[in-house]
Structure 1
């Protein structure tokens, strides 16, 4: 767990806030005022991934970026499991405690199924969906085939399955604080110019000991063991969700979550949604292309942008 006061040389200058509603000390930032934007990170990142988006959107919106259990500045309890449904439970409790409504969900990596789990349980609280290299699956029958096909091409998921079978998954992931760069590069991180001591500290410092790595290893172990339970909304809730304004932004150099497998799920759920494919952008697209993503999200939210930004957005549009 990162000390609450850490700003990483001013690159994450947001005041830390905490809630005990999920049953542990969950950290989140809460910046700006206006319509709510809830940013949900994935593996093995934390709210730091959204630092540029928080700075930009908090001028016009209330932007909340929590750290999941076992990540960032949140606690890593020893008596909890770290499956998908646990993370959905935690976010649900935070949302209810803060009484968040008219939520714009912004989701990356496993933040996608966490956010969609929240939407399935509380569709009346969600106003829009933004997927940024973050799948939006429910527990539909075809999901198993999609996950299997993706895992066969993904070095990360292929390694997880093999390492779990051979009994060395935790051995490696319990040292995530030291192998963080290789993990990020394996998944798909393209902008090497960002690699500085501060940047590495920001992403590696949540995982200094094996006890601090329960979140990162738990998510991987849950996938290998088939423990993650994807929410299946009621028919009425699914219909409500499918009518929401929605946008997918996908870095097409993603080597972990291949767009060809997951974008069809997005289009199936959101037939009127917009899809933008970013070339030369990897899985951690918010690191590789923060300006392009900020521009696309701003336009989606109705925040005025310049002609140059609009031209850039149109160039990325796939559908």
Structure 2
């Protein structure tokens, strides 16, 4: 009788579904894990610029067997399709994401706030605090001291500035997109090129640069809302996990530490990397997220 060799141990990725759902005329693309338990904790993954839900694909693979991870593409990003005349603002993005959660029947969920995910997610939190079980914040800024000088200069641009449009459009090039992934990392060789190449593919689609231009001009309204977000944190004191790439050229380490002022019980972890910390620090961050979700369930 033949004796088979012992099979090596492997980590089996989660199964994930990829779907569209209609919200106010917008065809919202999303990906979600299919966990083994129907009552698995829900984590709403809110992506940043210039990315989309694909930035969370490896996190979904890693954690999706035990938790329900749901990642939509905002209007103007990824695979989501919008009707003609859609108005781009962070308030409108939050409207669509809120409608998305309601179409999926999500009544209780934690949120992963990354970059643009912070202004979208905090708007959801202010509207429906009873739905939010906790926050995972990764380079998602909510404090003035977390803005670098470059971020302050960029967000101060207005349509009246003669060089504003050319300055903003310069951020939508392949070189700039790649720099957002590799900038601040300890070892750029750990950053797979698929992320920034796919982001650029979507940025180059018809109408996308104008959508991003409108959001760039609107970003100052997020900064104006920081006091409201901070007041919400102080009032509700949600369970909070902060993970942060300290080499982020836009959102500095001070912004990560500032969360402790309003949520002193928050857990803070800093990593020697850039803006897209999941790209090279997934093995460090994924277990932290899993432990956090387990504590929410306990």
- Aligned-residue Cα RMSD (Å) equals 3.1
Q: In structure 2, how many angstroms separate the alpha carbons of the residues matched to 1:190 and 1:240?
A: 37
Corresponding pairs, count:
276
1:270 corresponds in structure 2 to: 263
Structure 2 gap ranges (5+): 1-12
Shift of 1:46: 0.8
CA contact (8 A) 2:45 2:70 kept: yes
Q: In structure 2, how many angstroms separate the alpha carbons of the residues matched to 1:126 and 1:213?
A: 32
Q: In structure 2, how many angstroms separate the alpha carbons of the residues matched to 1:38 and 1:103?
A: 7
1:124 maps onto 2:126 in alignment: no
1:63 to 29, 46, 69: 69
Query: Matched residue of 2:248: which SS?
Result: coil
1:301 maps onto 2:285 in alignment: no
Q: TM-score, normalised by structure 1?
A: 0.75
C-alpha change, 1:268 and 1:170, in structure 2 (3 Å) is same
Aligned counterparts, 1:1-319, within 5 A: 14-33=16-35, 34-135=40-141, 137=142, 146=144, 150-151=146-147, 153-159=148-154, 161=156, 165-169=161-165, 173=169, 176=172, 178-185=174-181, 188=184, 191-194=187-190, 198-209=194-205, 211-223=207-219, 226-228=220-222, 230=225, 232=228, 241-242=236-237, 244-264=238-258, 266-278=259-271, 280-302=272-294
String of CA shifts for 1:254-303, please: whole Å, max 9, x gaps.
Answer: 11011213531x2233221111111x211111113111111211122238
C-alpha change, 1:194 and 1:123, in structure 2 (3 Å) is same
C-alpha change, 1:270 and 1:294, in structure 2 (3 Å) is same
Q: In structure 2, how many angstroms separate the alpha carbons of the residues matched to 1:195 and 1:127?
A: 32
Query: Matched residue of 1:80: which SS?
Result: coil
String of CA shifts for 1:52-87, please: whole Å, max 9, x gaps.
Answer: 111112111111001111011112554233222112
Q: TM-score, normalised by structure 2?
A: 0.80
Q: In structure 2, how many angstroms separate the alpha carbons of the residues matched to 1:169 and 1:288?
A: 32
CA contact (8 A) 1:68 1:87 kept: yes
String of CA shifts for 1:111-149, please: whole Å, max 9, x gaps.
Answer: 0121121111111111111101112x4xxxxx5xx1xx5
Q: Which runs of 4+ in 1 moved over 4 A?
A: 11-14, 185-191, 194-197, 237-240
Q: In structure 2, how many angstroms separate the alpha carbons of the residues matched to 1:68 and 1:213?
A: 14
Q: In structure 2, how many angstroms separate the alpha carbons of the residues matched to 1:175 and 1:239?
A: 35
Shift of 1:47: 0.9
C-alpha change, 1:286 and 1:77, in structure 2 (3 Å) is farther
